[in-house]
Structure 1
Amino acid sequence: MPIFAQDLLPFVENFSKSNYQGDNQIWNLAQGNDDAMYFANNYYLLRYDGVKWEKNSLPNKTIIRSILVDKDRIYSGSYKEFGYWFRKEGKMQYVSLSKGNKVFDDKNNEEIWKIFKFKNQIYFQSFNGLFLYDGKKIKQIKFPFLASYCFVVEDQLLIASVEQGVYRLKGGNIEKVSEWAVLENNVIHAIEKYDGKIYFFTKKNGVYVLENGSINPWKNPLNAVLKSANINVAEFLKNNKLVVGTASKGVFIFDLKDGSYSNISRNNVLMNNSVLSIGHDKENDLWLGLDNGIAHIEVNSPTAIFYDSSGVLGSVYSVATIPAGYLMASNHGLYKFVDKKLSLIPNSEGQAWNISKINSQFLIGHNEGTFIYKNDSFDKWSTINGGWNMTKSGINNSYIQSTYSGIVIYTDVHDLSKHIVVKGLLKPIKYAAQNRKNEIWAADNNRGLYRILYNDNYETLSVDNVTQLSKINNDFGVKIVEFRNEVLFLVHDTWYTYNSITNKLVENDLFNANFKNVSDIVTIDENHFMVLKEGLLYHIFAKENKFIWNIVQEKYYKGKIINDNLKVSKSDDNYLLNLDDGFIKLQLKYNSKSNPQIKIEGMNGDHLVGDNSKIDYNSELKLFIISGIYGVNKPSLFYKINDTKKFTAVKEGVVVLNNLESGSYEVSIYNYDGLSYKKIAEFNYQVAQPWYSSFWMILLYITIISVVLYVYYRWNKLRYIQKLALQEEELKHQKKILEMELKAEHELNTQEYEKHILALELQTKSSEVAGKSLSIAKQSEMIDKIQGILNSESDINKLTSEIKKAIKINAVNKHEWETFETNLNQIHNEFMINLSKKFPNLTPKDIKLCIYLKMNLSSKEIAPMMNISYRGVELHRYRLRKKLNLVQDENLSKFLLMI
């Protein structure tokens, strides 16, 4: 089977241009007294405090080749330029030392490639000479040759030339070290002293060692590898390690105690194989400046990680230690990692779920069954598919396996071929446990928790769905945990134990109080287990009834945990945790950590804000919680705002506060030691009133309101004056109207008076007409009476006397009749006109009859007035109806009244 070279490496944290937003090459690096890391990155001086990156440029925008930290200054060297940086109010400030001092010859294109301190003076080195700065003046020393680099070894300053060997600076003079002639024609990139020996690191010829006055090639197999890799930089670390950075094979970390080494390169986790610079921090961890990027290597940490650089391993579901290395179950099969080599176990291809060590052999739960791995042999012992998990019984030496199709019990650890399939539960079981005889607990992979009872012959007596019997509806993804001989069940974020009296699940107060919002939990041993809570991993140490929480830094596993398949195996004082591209080895011990010293930097937009500052309303405040610790000892910090009860984890060192309302706030930072939260810092700030509630806005409001009120007053006053003028004008107009109305009323009254007079006159004339009518009627009556006298009397004298008497009584003169006729026509003139217009065929006699009828006179009364008989009046009325086109039912008098 294919074999791939691999290694178990320290944790490597890579930073690319996308992180620091700078250029490619990192020419030099150092840690400042403020604990921040500084990098010479082409045109930028980068600063990284463990939380945020900053970049700064020189005024002349030249490439920064070298830096040196001395107290609060960061010296930098560039093309015909050197000086120092200092930090003020959260910003880097630059002071040039070379500008204006004419230290550079215009003929030479010099760059400062190295800066070092020697005998309280700062040395700026180019390939042609040195510039010495004593704090006041600058002195120049020119080389009589082309140099590579200068090195301080104990009390002497060594100068490595490109071709002529090594020189030393003594009393201001440069003299050659003739006894080191073997180093001539070598480009020396580092000279380091360790354990009484001086090591010379050449670019192409490997390492030389000065011992007992003689220089010889380094007698180590690694030296042959280094010759072909081209050494760029080298440095001894305090923990007995030698670090060598190469141009083509990454970095080599050599353990000077046991002679072993590891190579970190592009083949495993490094972003680039060309190492340009090396540095270390106060934790003695390693920093690399690459040809493209930055790497932080935790060489001083007990944490180690296996990375699958070949891509063949796949996702790891279980890890176990074997005598010479490690065994890994992945979705591609079973792999072993021995002597830095990864290989696939023959015939193990497919999904491997679990590795359980029983005595000296390993039981492998596989998609195609259960296999035994022992002495490099791989044999199938069970054809039951899908051995998810294996757990030891709490009452005897048997093992219980959960599979795709139920529970399998291995009763004889010496003969694992003897196994019993539990009947009555043909379901995919994910977890199983046993703490009572003849009773097994099984959690369905999907939903439900089952209690299986069986007799001594392993015959199933009953299978009960306990979550249903306990009336728990949401029983998806049940997890089973064994803790101190007690079986606990995690069902929908609530912990339960089984009450054998009520045969139901009851809540467990201890675990519910300590392990809320836990998404996964794995037992390591009776006092240790691993918990995944809100995306963070915790190693839990149970001390009596107290639980000590030790957070595992998220950077070790971020984005690599396989959900619902977290497995942990113990290896001496370490534990192994599976990841989706390998595994991580973590320390099992719990170490009480002292409270760290931290700094809080607040940024409101692009402005640095200090404690007790005031910021704008509804703006964003970023608090950078800076510990200055980059490695395994980086503290687990939490924060609270004002008097809230909840502790929130500080992720990636940043607390972002948005949509801030006006008022005073206190952000308290706490260090969590596993048992309690201890306040270590606080940051107070005030949020200003909104702009519309500020003093100037209130003043503006008052001004606007005053102006509005004044304008309103002036407008109201003007309006009042206009109203008065209008009222005056209106009064004049009303007076005029009143006068006109009075005049009109007077005229109307006059007209009414005249009308009244006319009415009276009309009434008088009507009375006259009526009188005349009565007179006429009396004349008619007189005539009738005379006619009667004539008919009754025969005596002439008496007849004559009676006639004369009647005539005298009823006499009517001719003038009175004419007056009657005239008055009648005047009274009914309008009626006569309208009647003549509507009915032009009417005769005067017809019109006279119409007038009499309108006056409501009877035919008998009309006859004498028209000097016709009663019969004649009726006949005339009949003819008149025809001329007026009246129907039979229509009343003639009413019709005439309508005209």
Structure 2
Amino acid sequence: MPEKIFKYILLSLLLQSTILSYSQPKHIGIPQVKNYNTSKMHAGAQTWMIDIGSNGLAYFANNNGVLEFDGINWRNHPLPGGILVRCIKAAQNNKLYAGGFNEIGYLLPNDKGQLNYHSLIEKLPEDARDFGEVWRIYDLPVGIVFQSYEQLMIYNNGHFKIIDAPEMFHFSFLVKGELYINDQTKGLYRLANDQIVKVPGVSQVAGELIWSMLPKGDDILIATDDDGIFVFDGLKLKEWKNPAARLLKKNQVYTGLSIDDETYAFGTIQDGIVICDTAGNLLQHLNMDRGLQNNTVLSLKLDQYKNLWLGLDNGIDYIEINSPLTYFSEFNALSTGYAAILHNNMLYLGTNRGVFYHDWQELQKGGGSQTFKLVPGTQGQVWNFDVFDGTLFCGHNSGVFTIEGTRAELISDIQGGWTFIQPENKNDIVLCGTYTGISKFEKINGQWVENGKLGGFKESTRYLVQGKNNTFWISHGYKGIYRVNVDSNYDSIINFELYNSDDGFPVDKNLNVCNLFDKPVFTTGQGFYRFDSVNNKFEPDLKLNKRFPRQDIRLMHPDDAGNVWYFTIDDAGVYRLQEDGSYVDVFLPFKELNRRFIKWFQFVYPINDNHVIFGLQDGFAYYTPQYPKDYQYEFNAYIRKATLTKTDSVLYMGQTQNKDFFVGIPYRFNQIKFELAANDFENPKKLVFSTKLEDFDEEWSPWRSNPVREFTNLAHGEYTFKVRAKNIFDNISNTGSIDFEIYAPWFLSWWGYALYAAIVGMFIFSMVRYVRYRTEKTKREEEEQQKRLFQEREKRLQNNALRAEKEVIRIRNEKLRAEMKQKDKELANNTMEMIQKGKLLTKIKKELNKLSTEFNDDIINNHINRLIRRVDKELDTEQQWEVFEKHFENVHEEFLKRLKAAYPDLTPREMKLCAYLRLNISSKEIAALMNISTRGVEISRYRLRKKLQLSHDTNLTDFIISF
């Protein structure tokens, strides 16, 4: 037992040492680089510092402000006055500190999750506020330390401690928990508590600009501006002499960081980023010729996924150094990749533009030129490489080449060299599948020469696998699978037969054949098939389908270690052989390559256990199987914004310090939109999201790439909206959530219910009143019925008396009508008498007036005048009117009083006129009664119409009679 345990321990140590040997960034190929230009970020050109917040988001000190990146969206948070932000620091207290010219402060989310800036300038002493640019911020036990050229500002518990520069500070560096500050005149200092002390033993770099200080074991690496790079052991300096140091001195180091204990990254002014080990061996050198946007690197940051963020002089780049994959692409002078082979220490890559080569040992050294060169004469489409008897064959659109070193020789001009195969026990023969059949090559006198085509078969032969005896299997992408029998000398085709869906295959097209375990294996995209020679048909290969359960495999390629590499239409994987003979499906490392392979021309070339090359649409991928990448890394999904759709007003902006954050929404705004994100910086464009609104969705929604979820017409109540993301490696993120409530509508609120209660109460009260009313009404009706019966009896007794009484009344009314008629007649007679009397007296008066003119005797005239006065006295209308009025009112029931009340402006004369008109007396007769002329009556009638406001079509007499 102890011996077995010892073996396990030894095995684990060996495995660990293997993993550690590949933990540093790869040096073959170029890592994936993502470019974020300023227009996409809506940011300024230069980015001076980068940090990762405790929330997992990336922050950048940019010319335009503090940039924030959530994996999908960029946000900019400008500082007051739009000043350049030189430095940022995501502190342990969840505040994001920032600094610029004469400005320091921090960003903190408000109650809606929006980052707001809070300046700390007012807390500084007035004489310490003109400090210029702030270049560094640190979160240390003594407090938050801001460093400018003029001073250190230590902020702790709401107060600042100021440490002035001896002359003028340059930059500062945090190394192994110690803060070092370089004074441009006095040299290097170290912060001890809240004081700075001079660092001994570094006088050699006093007055030099120090751009980077990094840990190197127990020592410190110091990169200067002009004098190169030194190693400081605490007592003295020693120059760091190696290829990396020479390159860095030439290109001016500006910034640096430790990727791990064995690896550095340096950003330069002149030529991009240099990655090297602690011994100074170059691992990677990336610049504009190798994927960067700009050659000046101002800032570096290793994120939580051990990949590199670069702040450039123009833009931001992201380098995926923590990956087993690197790439050969246009930056290596390559194009679409179709084939690869390592031969005689030369790596040959076949592209659509020809054969390219590079020395394999030079590639493995790293850091140097990785540009591939074209093999002269091979321009054009390359399909395949293979080596037979030490000779490298190249299948080409133009024919077949043999390649030696950097020279190529065309040995066949039969177009389309798809594939090569050497028949069993025939070391001097090579068969080549072409566009138009099979060509034969023989080795004669040490040279390979073409020996014509195998007659009898002219179909395209892309895949060619030998079966039993002289039988070969050929796949044709459109027709099916051919079985070809060749003569013993491999000179001609004896016969051939085509197999498709009529012969057991599930489909006709895209069938394929490959050599697996030294026998032909047929792939269909719907499982593996085998040939049943007895029935001359194909049937599913149950044993192989169980061994390799993926049904959608199109192409398989075994390597020398027994692993089986495979391709589906869009992705790739490898079945790795285990010690017990079983296979494990490994596919996660190749998820990044999905949809980048050349459809129907997928290609993989395992050089050995440590080096594998894939062909891609834009070049080649280089894969290191032993690279220790954890594909189940933790990342976060975020709700970055919540918006009310109806008003387009923002409820939430994605960050909060309050764990109990809660949003209340009025019912009338019950339409809400959520914008989502996730901080998987490696493959943000391939993220998919699933959401769930608790108490609304029964299950999580299907995965979809759209980072937006909208809800309309939500019912009132409390909700929790949740989001999770899944990255390209099928790794599911932590869940992000937000609680909110749709308030009840007014008709479901407490006062709505109070109103309903009041209405119900009123209804009940009304019903009670109604029942009482009905009861009382019924009682009254009963009483009234009894009373009615009693009254009916009384009425029957009184009817006779009533009839008699009515008869008496009728007789009385007839008598009254007769009396009225008589009075009216008397009134008329009196009136006529008055008229006649008036006429007579008027006539007499006229005669007397006439006589008075005929006599000159005064005595006679006096006597006549006395008679005239007596006549006038008799014509006194007032007395007559009083008598007339008395009789008139008796007959016409107070007509004059009613008229006077309605028209108070009527004169007595007009009242008389109305009374006479009521009697329907003519104007001539009225003139006699009123002692005026007929013309005067007409004028009086006209004036009366105006006072009565009668229209022209209304008859005055009719109006008076009907009044």
CA deviation string 1:3-27 (max 9, x = no partner):
xxx9722332332234433222111
Aligned partner of 1:583 in structure 2 is: 620
Aligned partner of 1:23 in structure 2 is: 44
- In the TM superposition, residue 570 of structure 1 has moved relative to its aligned partner by 0.2
* Greater Cα shift, 128-137 or 356-365: 356-365
* 1:108-507 equivalent positions in 2, closer than 5 A: 108=130, 110-154=132-176, 157-169=179-191, 174=196, 176-177=198-199, 179-211=201-233, 213-257=235-279, 259-309=281-331, 311=333, 313-322=334-343, 324=345, 326-338=347-359, 339=362, 340=369, 341-358=371-388, 360-390=390-420, 401-408=432-439, 417=449, 421-458=453-490, 459-467=492-500, 469-470=502-503, 475-485=508-518, 487-491=520-524, 496-507=529-540
Whole-Å Cα distance in 1 between the matches of residues 402 and 358 of structure 2? 18
Over 3 Å counting, the alpha-carbon distance change for 1:221 and 1:18 in structure 2 is same
- In the TM superposition, residue 66 of structure 1 has moved relative to its aligned partner by 0.4
CA deviation string 1:577-612 (max 9, x = no partner):
122443111133698968544433245556559999
SS at match of 1:192: strand
Aligned partner of 1:571 in structure 2 is: 607
Whole-Å Cα distance in 1 between the matches of residues 180 and 724 of structure 2? 49
- In the TM superposition, residue 85 of structure 1 has moved relative to its aligned partner by 2.9
Aligned partner of 1:523 in structure 2 is: 557
Supply the AA of the counterpart residue of 1:454.
Answer: V
Aligned partner of 1:825 in structure 2 is: none
* Greater Cα shift, 406-415 or 364-373: 406-415
CA deviation string 1:506-552 (max 9, x = no partner):
4556759954566x53424353223244x444445477787625234
* 1:650-669 equivalent positions in 2, closer than 5 A: none
- In the TM superposition, residue 31 of structure 1 has moved relative to its aligned partner by 2.0
Contact 2:347 2:358 in 1 (8 A): yes
- Give the TM-score, by structure 2 length: 0.61
SS at match of 1:65: strand
CA deviation string 1:448-476 (max 9, x = no partner):
43221234333422222212753989734
Contact 1:238 1:284 in 2 (8 A): no
SS at match of 1:33: coil
Whole-Å Cα distance in 1 between the matches of residues 721 and 536 of structure 2? 51
* 1:46-57 equivalent positions in 2, closer than 5 A: 46-57=67-78
- In the TM superposition, residue 165 of structure 1 has moved relative to its aligned partner by 3.0
Whole-Å Cα distance in 1 between the matches of residues 599 and 376 of structure 2? 28
Supply the AA of the counterpart residue of 2:500.
Answer: T
Over 3 Å counting, the alpha-carbon distance change for 1:305 and 1:662 in structure 2 is same
Aligned partner of 1:747 in structure 2 is: none
Whole-Å Cα distance in 2 between the matches of residues 558 and 450 of structure 1? 31
* Greater Cα shift, 380-389 or 119-128: 380-389
SS at match of 1:100: helix
Structure 1 residue runs of 5 or longer lacking an equivalent are 1-5, 707-899
Aligned partner of 1:40 in structure 2 is: 61
Aligned partner of 1:868 in structure 2 is: none
- In the TM superposition, residue 352 of structure 1 has moved relative to its aligned partner by 1.9
Over 3 Å counting, the alpha-carbon distance change for 1:480 and 1:212 in structure 2 is same
- In the TM superposition, residue 553 of structure 1 has moved relative to its aligned partner by 5.7
- In the TM superposition, residue 86 of structure 1 has moved relative to its aligned partner by 4.0
Aligned partner of 2:767 in structure 1 is: none
- In the TM superposition, residue 269 of structure 1 has moved relative to its aligned partner by 0.9
Contact 1:524 1:569 in 2 (8 A): no
Contact 1:530 1:538 in 2 (8 A): yes
- In the TM superposition, residue 162 of structure 1 has moved relative to its aligned partner by 2.9
Over 3 Å counting, the alpha-carbon distance change for 1:456 and 1:619 in structure 2 is farther
Structure with the higher fraction of residues in helix conformation: 2
SS at match of 1:436: coil
Contact 1:541 1:590 in 2 (8 A): no
Contact 1:668 1:679 in 2 (8 A): no
Give the number of aligned pairs: 685
Contact 1:85 1:92 in 2 (8 A): no
Supply the AA of the counterpart residue of 2:105.
Answer: G
Whole-Å Cα distance in 2 between the matches of residues 598 and 212 of structure 1? 40
Whole-Å Cα distance in 1 between the matches of residues 663 and 131 of structure 2? 50
SS at match of 2:82: coil
Aligned partner of 1:66 in structure 2 is: 87
Supply the AA of the counterpart residue of 1:431.
Answer: Y
Whole-Å Cα distance in 2 between the matches of residues 412 and 18 of structure 1? 61
Over 3 Å counting, the alpha-carbon distance change for 1:669 and 1:276 in structure 2 is closer
- In the TM superposition, residue 412 of structure 1 has moved relative to its aligned partner by 7.8
Over 3 Å counting, the alpha-carbon distance change for 1:387 and 1:224 in structure 2 is same
- In the TM superposition, residue 393 of structure 1 has moved relative to its aligned partner by 6.7
- Give the TM-score, by structure 1 length: 0.65
Whole-Å Cα distance in 1 between the matches of residues 315 and 115 of structure 2? 25
- In the TM superposition, residue 365 of structure 1 has moved relative to its aligned partner by 0.8
SS at match of 2:250: helix
- In the TM superposition, residue 113 of structure 1 has moved relative to its aligned partner by 1.3
* Greater Cα shift, 313-322 or 204-213: 204-213
Supply the AA of the counterpart residue of 1:208.
Answer: F
RMSD: 4.8
Whole-Å Cα distance in 1 between the matches of residues 353 and 304 of structure 2? 42
SS at match of 1:223: helix
Supply the AA of the counterpart residue of 2:433.
Answer: S
* 1:615-654 equivalent positions in 2, closer than 5 A: 621-624=674-677, 626=678, 630=681
Aligned partner of 2:852 in structure 1 is: none
Whole-Å Cα distance in 1 between the matches of residues 320 and 575 of structure 2? 23
Contact 2:691 2:700 in 1 (8 A): yes
Whole-Å Cα distance in 2 between the matches of residues 590 and 247 of structure 1? 31
- In the TM superposition, residue 672 of structure 1 has moved relative to its aligned partner by 10
* Greater Cα shift, 127-136 or 99-108: 99-108
Whole-Å Cα distance in 2 between the matches of residues 588 and 93 of structure 1? 43
Supply the AA of the counterpart residue of 1:561.
Answer: F
Whole-Å Cα distance in 1 between the matches of residues 426 and 211 of structure 2? 65
Over 3 Å counting, the alpha-carbon distance change for 1:273 and 1:88 in structure 2 is same
Structure 2 residue runs of 5 or longer lacking an equivalent are 1-26, 363-368, 644-649, 655-660, 760-963
CA deviation string 1:188-243 (max 9, x = no partner):
21222312333221223332333573334432243333233222112233141122
Contact 1:47 1:53 in 2 (8 A): yes
- In the TM superposition, residue 373 of structure 1 has moved relative to its aligned partner by 2.4
